[in-house]
Amino acid sequence: MPKPELQRINSFLSAFARRQAARIAELPGGFAVYDDAFAHSRSNNQVIVETAVDSETLPAIAEQALGHLPHRLVSVLDNEVALACAGPMIRAGYTHSTYLVMLHTGPVPADGAAEEMDLDAIRVPLARRWRDILPNADDEVIRHLVDRREARRRGADVVSFIGARTEEGEVASWADLYLDPATGTAQIEDLITSEAHLKRGYADAVLATALRLAADKDCDTRFLTADAADWPRHWYERRGFSVIGHSHCFERA
């Protein structure tokens, strides 16, 4: 049986995906979300599996739901369901990635040196960072990856963009903060630092501010997700986050 915190987090993730979607299609074990305005964004056009599903039929379910798109993304929130689906999905040509659900169990910082800001303030550094990550992407792809944050405003009761500035006023690091005070749940998402400002404490300022704001809204379940195979998970662990579960993604071009 999943921990209560993990159940609450998975419910939050499902609700967020549904709320931000432009349209939804119900599917066995879950649903598909779509947003034509951000067709190049996989997270805005994907299948989400919430409960048990026939693992052998999942590739066909995904194909039916996403066949009109150049990509396939299937997110499976339950660890056991994902592991059961891994074989059929990999045989169907999907790559499998595991993500850690990390709960903040450390002390809440007294404050942070970052601030809430409008999306316009981070558009330029965000676009620049995406160009670093995807150097061959065209302008439309980059625009979708930046502007999709507008749709995220629909996903939760409170959606904030947190940023830390240099002394010159440039936004050096930023993240999303999603709050559901009714259930006491908060998610920190997409914590990013500009290449020119790495290892200078800006990400720490953003994280500390986000945690403080969440706690001030009585959100005791504060979480984020991190790639199980990448280094940031250790950075988060040193800042009071602990692994309480796993989610999975299956992707295919």
Residue 223 has pLDDT above 80, yes or no: yes
Enclosing domain of residue 193: 115-245
Residue 76 has pLDDT above 60, yes or no: yes
Boundary-marking domain end, from 71, 100, 129: 100
Local confidence band at 112 (pLDDT 50, 70, 90 cut-offs): confident
At residue 232, the pLDDT reads 96
Residue 160 has pLDDT above 90, yes or no: yes
Mean pLDDT estimate for the chain = 96
The predicted-structure confidence for 163-215, as pLDDT tens digits, reads as follows 999 999 999 999 999 999 999 999 999 999 999 999 999 999 999 999 999 99
**How much of the chain, in percent, has pLDDT values that exceed 70?**
99
Boundary-marking domain end, from 54, 71, 100: 100
Residue 1 has pLDDT above 60, yes or no: no
**Residue 145, in any domain of the structure:** yes
Residues 62 and 163 in one domain: no
Residues 125 and 54 in one domain: no
Residues 119 and 241 in one domain: yes
> What's the rounded Cα separation, in Å, for the pair 11 and 109?
27
At residue 244, the pLDDT reads 97
For residues 166 and 197, the answer to whether their CB atoms sit within 8 Å is: yes
Residue 14 has pLDDT above 90, yes or no: yes
Residues 40 and 91 in one domain: yes
Residues 60 and 139 in one domain: no
For residues 128 and 194, the answer to whether their CB atoms sit within 8 Å is: yes
Residues 88 and 144 in one domain: no
Give the chain's domain count.
2
Average pLDDT over residues 86-96: 98
Local confidence band at 3 (pLDDT 50, 70, 90 cut-offs): confident
What is the domain-level CATH number for residue 130?
A: 3.40.630.30
Boundary-marking domain end, from 65, 100, 135: 100
At residue 28, the pLDDT reads 97
Average pLDDT over residues 10-30: 98
At residue 2, the pLDDT reads 65
CA dist list (Å): 170 to 94, 132, 194, 204, 225 = 39, 18, 10, 16, 27
Average pLDDT over residues 125-130: 94
Residues 122 and 186 in one domain: yes
At residue 111, the pLDDT reads 86
Residue 41 has pLDDT above 70, yes or no: yes
Q: Supply the pTM of this predicted model.
A: 0.96
Strand duo 46-49 + 30-34: pairing: antiparallel
Residues 121 and 224 in one domain: yes
At residue 40, the pLDDT reads 94
**Residue 107, in any domain of the structure:** no
